[in-house]
Protein backbone atom coordinates (compact mmCIF):
# COMPACT_ATOMS: atom_id res chain seq x y z
CA UNK A 1 0.00 0.00 0.00
CA UNK A 2 1.56 3.30 -1.06
CA UNK A 3 1.74 6.15 1.39
CA UNK A 4 1.47 9.79 0.56
CA UNK A 5 3.55 12.47 2.22
CA UNK A 6 0.93 13.07 4.93
CA UNK A 7 0.85 9.37 5.86
CA UNK A 8 4.66 9.20 6.16
CA UNK A 9 4.61 12.27 8.39
CA UNK A 10 2.06 10.67 10.73
CA UNK A 11 4.15 7.47 11.01
CA UNK A 12 7.25 9.49 11.84
CA UNK A 13 5.32 11.31 14.59
CA UNK A 14 4.09 8.01 16.05
CA UNK A 15 7.62 6.56 15.98
CA UNK A 16 8.97 9.55 17.83
CA UNK A 17 6.23 9.25 20.42
CA UNK A 18 7.03 5.54 20.95
CA UNK A 19 3.53 4.27 20.16
CA UNK A 20 4.42 1.96 17.23
CA UNK A 21 5.11 -1.67 18.18
CA UNK A 22 6.88 -0.61 21.37
CA UNK A 23 10.00 0.09 19.34
CA UNK A 24 10.93 3.04 21.47
CA UNK A 25 10.51 3.61 25.20
CA UNK A 26 7.77 5.86 26.43
CA UNK A 27 8.64 9.51 26.83
CA UNK A 28 7.79 9.03 30.51
CA UNK A 29 10.77 6.72 30.86
CA UNK A 30 13.46 8.18 28.55
CA UNK A 31 16.93 6.67 28.41
CA UNK A 32 19.60 8.42 30.38
CA UNK A 33 22.20 10.52 28.63
CA UNK A 34 24.98 8.15 29.72
CA UNK A 35 23.14 5.15 28.26
CA UNK A 36 22.69 6.97 24.99
CA UNK A 37 26.35 7.87 24.76
CA UNK A 38 27.80 4.60 26.09
CA UNK A 39 25.69 1.70 24.77
CA UNK A 40 25.89 -1.70 26.38
CA UNK A 41 28.81 -3.92 25.34
CA UNK A 42 28.06 -6.53 22.75
CA UNK A 43 28.27 -10.15 23.80
CA UNK A 44 29.81 -11.18 20.49
CA UNK A 45 33.35 -12.55 20.65
CA UNK A 46 36.06 -10.34 19.24
CA UNK A 47 38.46 -11.61 16.58
CA UNK A 48 41.24 -12.03 19.13
CA UNK A 49 38.89 -13.83 21.52
CA UNK A 50 37.73 -16.20 18.80
CA UNK A 51 41.35 -17.02 17.96
CA UNK A 52 42.08 -17.84 21.59
CA UNK A 53 38.86 -19.82 21.81
CA UNK A 54 39.97 -22.05 18.94
CA UNK A 55 43.26 -22.80 20.64
CA UNK A 56 45.38 -20.29 18.74
CA UNK A 57 46.96 -17.38 20.55
CA UNK A 58 48.20 -14.51 18.41
CA UNK A 59 51.52 -13.01 19.46
CA UNK A 60 51.06 -9.28 19.16
CA UNK A 61 54.66 -8.56 20.17
CA UNK A 62 56.13 -10.22 17.08
CA UNK A 63 56.82 -7.46 14.58
CA UNK A 64 58.29 -9.55 11.74
CA UNK A 65 55.80 -11.09 9.30
CA UNK A 66 58.15 -14.06 8.76
CA UNK A 67 58.13 -17.06 11.05
CA UNK A 68 61.57 -18.35 11.99
CA UNK A 69 61.76 -22.13 11.89
CA UNK A 70 64.81 -23.60 13.55
CA UNK A 71 64.29 -26.99 11.90
CA UNK A 72 64.60 -25.62 8.33
CA UNK A 73 67.86 -26.69 6.65
CA UNK A 74 69.76 -24.31 4.38
CA UNK A 75 71.84 -26.12 1.75
CA UNK A 76 74.77 -24.30 0.21
CA UNK A 77 77.86 -25.26 -1.71
CA UNK A 78 81.30 -24.66 -0.24
CA UNK A 79 84.32 -23.22 -2.02
CA UNK A 80 86.72 -24.67 0.56
CA UNK A 81 85.77 -28.36 0.34
CA UNK A 82 87.27 -29.12 -3.08
CA UNK A 83 89.01 -32.42 -2.34
CA UNK A 84 87.90 -35.10 -4.77
CA UNK A 85 86.03 -32.71 -7.08
CA UNK A 86 86.77 -33.03 -10.80
CA UNK A 87 86.19 -30.34 -13.41
CA UNK A 88 86.11 -30.10 -17.20
CA UNK A 89 86.71 -26.81 -18.99
CA UNK A 90 85.40 -26.43 -22.56
CA UNK A 91 87.17 -23.56 -24.34
CA UNK A 92 86.33 -22.04 -27.73
CA UNK A 93 89.36 -21.38 -29.91
CA UNK A 94 87.65 -18.56 -31.83
CA UNK A 95 88.74 -15.18 -30.40
CA UNK A 96 91.57 -17.06 -28.72
CA UNK A 97 93.24 -13.85 -27.55
CA UNK A 98 90.27 -13.50 -25.19
CA UNK A 99 89.45 -17.10 -24.36
CA UNK A 100 93.05 -17.92 -23.39
CA UNK A 101 92.98 -15.17 -20.78
CA UNK A 102 89.63 -16.43 -19.48
CA UNK A 103 91.09 -19.93 -19.22
CA UNK A 104 94.12 -18.62 -17.34
CA UNK A 105 91.86 -16.87 -14.84
CA UNK A 106 89.84 -20.06 -14.36
CA UNK A 107 92.92 -22.24 -13.80
CA UNK A 108 94.39 -19.74 -11.33
CA UNK A 109 91.14 -19.79 -9.35
CA UNK A 110 91.06 -23.59 -9.30
CA UNK A 111 94.62 -23.60 -7.99
CA UNK A 112 93.84 -20.91 -5.41
CA UNK A 113 91.00 -23.00 -4.00
CA UNK A 114 93.11 -26.19 -3.82
CA UNK A 115 91.70 -28.08 -6.80
CA UNK A 116 94.33 -30.59 -7.92
CA UNK A 117 95.73 -30.14 -11.43
CA UNK A 118 95.07 -33.79 -12.25
CA UNK A 119 91.39 -33.18 -11.50
CA UNK A 120 91.04 -30.64 -14.32
CA UNK A 121 90.64 -31.49 -18.01
CA UNK A 122 90.64 -28.77 -20.69
CA UNK A 123 88.82 -29.50 -23.96
CA UNK A 124 89.22 -27.17 -26.94
CA UNK A 125 86.45 -26.68 -29.53
CA UNK A 126 86.41 -24.51 -32.69
CA UNK A 127 83.95 -21.88 -31.47
CA UNK A 128 81.26 -21.02 -28.97
CA UNK A 129 78.60 -22.67 -31.12
CA UNK A 130 80.18 -26.09 -30.47
CA UNK A 131 80.48 -25.69 -26.69
CA UNK A 132 77.04 -27.03 -25.79
CA UNK A 133 77.22 -30.46 -27.39
CA UNK A 134 80.69 -31.14 -25.95
CA UNK A 135 79.67 -29.94 -22.49
CA UNK A 136 76.71 -32.30 -22.49
CA UNK A 137 78.90 -35.23 -23.55
CA UNK A 138 81.35 -34.49 -20.75
CA UNK A 139 78.58 -34.12 -18.21
CA UNK A 140 77.03 -37.46 -19.15
CA UNK A 141 80.39 -39.23 -18.90
CA UNK A 142 80.12 -39.27 -15.12
CA UNK A 143 83.74 -38.18 -14.71
CA UNK A 144 83.16 -34.58 -13.68
CA UNK A 145 81.31 -32.73 -10.96
CA UNK A 146 80.98 -29.54 -13.04
CA UNK A 147 81.73 -28.34 -16.56
CA UNK A 148 82.97 -24.78 -17.16
CA UNK A 149 82.18 -23.38 -20.62
CA UNK A 150 84.41 -20.56 -21.89
CA UNK A 151 84.02 -18.58 -25.09
CA UNK A 152 83.88 -15.08 -26.56
CA UNK A 153 81.39 -13.81 -29.13
CA UNK A 154 81.94 -10.29 -30.46
CA UNK A 155 79.31 -8.41 -32.44
CA UNK A 156 80.01 -7.85 -36.12
CA UNK A 157 78.20 -6.26 -39.06
CA UNK A 158 75.72 -9.10 -39.60
CA UNK A 159 73.13 -11.02 -37.56
CA UNK A 160 75.56 -13.92 -37.18
CA UNK A 161 76.36 -12.63 -33.68
CA UNK A 162 72.78 -13.14 -32.47
CA UNK A 163 72.59 -16.65 -33.88
CA UNK A 164 75.82 -17.75 -32.18
CA UNK A 165 74.94 -16.11 -28.84
CA UNK A 166 71.50 -17.72 -28.74
CA UNK A 167 72.88 -21.12 -29.71
CA UNK A 168 75.69 -20.97 -27.16
CA UNK A 169 73.35 -19.89 -24.37
CA UNK A 170 70.72 -22.54 -25.03
CA UNK A 171 73.41 -25.16 -25.65
CA UNK A 172 75.05 -24.70 -22.26
CA UNK A 173 71.66 -24.62 -20.54
CA UNK A 174 70.54 -27.82 -22.26
CA UNK A 175 73.84 -29.51 -21.43
CA UNK A 176 73.29 -28.98 -17.74
CA UNK A 177 69.64 -30.00 -17.80
CA UNK A 178 70.21 -33.13 -19.89
CA UNK A 179 73.32 -34.34 -18.09
CA UNK A 180 72.34 -33.45 -14.53
CA UNK A 181 75.80 -31.90 -14.05
CA UNK A 182 76.26 -28.14 -13.47
CA UNK A 183 77.41 -26.50 -16.71
CA UNK A 184 78.62 -22.97 -16.01
CA UNK A 185 78.12 -20.29 -18.66
CA UNK A 186 81.38 -18.41 -19.15
CA UNK A 187 80.84 -17.13 -22.70
CA UNK A 188 81.44 -13.41 -23.14
CA UNK A 189 78.99 -11.60 -25.42
CA UNK A 190 80.47 -8.19 -26.22
CA UNK A 191 79.97 -5.37 -28.69
CA UNK A 192 83.67 -4.99 -29.42
CA UNK A 193 87.10 -6.39 -28.61
CA UNK A 194 87.82 -3.77 -25.95
CA UNK A 195 84.81 -4.90 -23.92
CA UNK A 196 85.95 -8.50 -24.18
CA UNK A 197 89.53 -7.78 -23.10
CA UNK A 198 88.33 -5.70 -20.17
CA UNK A 199 86.40 -8.74 -18.94
CA UNK A 200 89.29 -11.12 -19.54
CA UNK A 201 91.69 -9.74 -16.95
CA UNK A 202 91.25 -6.02 -17.61
CA UNK A 203 89.60 -3.32 -15.55
CA UNK A 204 86.34 -5.31 -15.31
CA UNK A 205 88.05 -8.35 -13.82
CA UNK A 206 88.31 -11.85 -15.23
CA UNK A 207 85.01 -13.60 -15.90
CA UNK A 208 86.82 -16.89 -16.29
CA UNK A 209 87.94 -16.68 -12.66
CA UNK A 210 84.42 -15.79 -11.53
CA UNK A 211 82.90 -18.72 -13.41
CA UNK A 212 85.48 -21.12 -11.97
CA UNK A 213 84.43 -20.08 -8.47
CA UNK A 214 80.80 -20.69 -9.45
CA UNK A 215 81.76 -24.13 -10.76
CA UNK A 216 83.41 -25.03 -7.44
CA UNK A 217 80.38 -23.95 -5.41
CA UNK A 218 77.90 -25.78 -7.65
CA UNK A 219 80.01 -28.94 -7.71
CA UNK A 220 80.19 -28.89 -3.92
CA UNK A 221 76.43 -28.34 -3.62
CA UNK A 222 75.63 -31.28 -5.87
CA UNK A 223 78.24 -33.57 -4.34
CA UNK A 224 77.56 -32.91 -0.66
CA UNK A 225 73.85 -32.08 -0.60
CA UNK A 226 72.02 -33.10 -3.78
CA UNK A 227 73.29 -36.61 -4.51
Rounded to an integer, what distance in angstroms lies between the CA atom of residue 197 and that of residue 213? 20
Sheet of strand 87-92: strand arrangement = 120-125, 87-92, 146-154, 183-190
Q: Which of 74, 111, 145, 160 is catalytic?
A: 160
DSSP string, 111-132: HHTT--GGGEEEEEESSGGGHH
**Do 58 and 51 meet the contact criterion of CB atoms below 8 Å apart?**
yes
Residue 28 phi/psi, 5° resolution? Answer: -75, -15
Select from 108, 102, 114, 111 the least CA-distant residue to 184. Answer: 102
The answer to whether 144 and 182 are in contact (CB under 8 A) is no
Sign for the pseudo-dihedral over CA of 60, 62, 65, 68: negative
Helix (H) or strand (E) holding 96: helix 96-112
CA distance 71 to 95: 50
160 among known catalytic residues: yes
Could you list the beta-strand ranges (E) of the chain: 87-92, 120-125, 146-154, 183-190, 200-202, 205-206
Could you list the active site residues?
160
Amino acid sequence: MALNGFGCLKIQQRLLSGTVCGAFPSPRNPPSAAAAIFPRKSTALSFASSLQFRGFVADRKQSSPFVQMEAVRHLEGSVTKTQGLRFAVVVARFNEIVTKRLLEGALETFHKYSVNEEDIDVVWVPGSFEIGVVAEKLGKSGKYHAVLCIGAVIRGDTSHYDAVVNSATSGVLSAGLNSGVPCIFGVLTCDDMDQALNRAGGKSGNKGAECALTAIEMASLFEHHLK
